[in-house]
């Protein structure tokens, strides 16, 4: 990857993200080469590094990240293509403050819940102690909304929906895409991982409640 990645903080971030991706793959949240990930570093705030398309996430390396401008232009000639969902990552970086890493996963719980709740177009989370793992939340009484967008292969259109939602709901930490998967992000790689663990734990709880109820 490339000259940009040779800076100390980029190298540090990519190693941290590779650890997180291996963790995600082991959890079964990144099956069959699906999912994509990105990060940026302080030295280059106008560049994001996005995972290339089609890589098995149990085998991903630092070479599998492609630097892009915030407009989505590749900074170096390469035969590898960035993930087709790079536009969604860019929409998140541009519409949120201080985001340094974006994780997109395909867990079973997120996929099923995105279908069950798609009629409402959102998932409401409230009453869970673990909500306090999300930045800015300090009580289980907080109500956290996760929007659900219809799946599409039209990435510019979906990126526009992400942007609109995030501009109107700046405290959002996660987005579901129906029958597809989940996006979350954070102010560091560790932060994004923490958010993913919070949401996945709560998705599992909600799914179990769907089956057994809470009475």
Minimal distance in Å, beta carbon 15 to Zn ion? Answer: 24
Closest residue to Zn ion: CB criterion: 181
Minimal distance in Å, beta carbon 199 to Zn ion? Answer: 15
Minimal distance in Å, beta carbon 104 to Zn ion? Answer: 5
In terms of Cβ atoms closer than 10 Å to its own Cβ (0-12, 13-18, 19+), residue 190 is: middle
Of 43, 42, 39, 44, the residue nearest 15 (C-alpha): 39
Judged by CB, which is closer to Zn ion: 82, or 181? 181
Interface pattern 55-74 for Zn ion (x via CB under 5 A): --------------------
Interface with Zn ion (CB under 5 A), residue total: 1
Q: Which residue has the tokens 């997120």?
A: 110
18 strand-pairing partners: none
Judged by CB, which is closer to Zn ion: 181, or 186? 181
Minimal distance in Å, beta carbon 124 to Zn ion? Answer: 23
- 109 touches 200 (CB < 8 A): yes
Judged by CB, which is closer to Zn ion: 17, or 41? 17
CA gap 172, 178 in Å, rounded:
17
Judged by CB, which is closer to Zn ion: 10, or 149? 149
74 strand-pairing partners: 68
Site for Zn ion in 173-202 (CB under 5 A): 181
Eight-class DSSP state of 194: H
Minimal distance in Å, beta carbon 158 to Zn ion? Answer: 11
Judged by CB, which is closer to Zn ion: 10, or 159? 159
CA distances from 157 to 70, 90, 114, 142, 152 (A): 17, 13, 19, 31, 8
Judged by CB, which is closer to Zn ion: 174, or 181? 181
Per-position DSSP letters for 122-136, written without gaps between them? EEEE-S-GGGGGSTT
Q: How many residues does the chain have?
A: 215
Minimal distance in Å, beta carbon 151 to Zn ion? Answer: 9
Interface pattern 141-180 for Zn ion (x via CB under 5 A): ----------------------------------------
Instruction: Give me the residues that bind Zn ion (CB under 5 A), please.
Output: 181
């Amino acid at each position: 990857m490339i000259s940009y990645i040779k800076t100390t903080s980029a190298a540090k971030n990519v190693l941290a993200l590779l650890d997180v991706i291996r963790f995600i793959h082991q959890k079964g949240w990144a099956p069959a080469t699906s999912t994509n990930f990105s990060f940026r570093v302080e030295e280059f705030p106008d560049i994001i590094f996005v995972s290339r398309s089609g890589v098995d996430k149990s085998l991903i390396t630092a070479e599998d990240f492609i630097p892009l401008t915030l407009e989505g232009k590749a900074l170096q000639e390469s035969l590898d293509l960035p993930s087709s969902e790079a536009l969604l990552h860019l929409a998140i970086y541009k519409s949120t403050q201080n985001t340094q890493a974006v994780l997109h996963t395909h867990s079973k719980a997120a996929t099923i819940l995105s279908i069950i709740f798609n009629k409402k177009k959102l998932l409401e989370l409230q009453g869970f102690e673990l909500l306090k793992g999300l930045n800015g939340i300090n009580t289980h009484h907080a109500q956290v909304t996760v929007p659900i967008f219809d799946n599409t292969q039209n990435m510019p259109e979906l990126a526009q929906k992400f942007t609109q939602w995030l501009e109107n709901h700046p405290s959002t930490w996660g987005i579901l895409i129906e029958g597809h998967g989940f996006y979350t992000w954070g102010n560091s790689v560790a932060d994004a991982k923490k958010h993913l663990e919070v949401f996945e734990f709560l998705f599992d709880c909600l799914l179990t409640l769907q089956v057994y109820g809470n009475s």
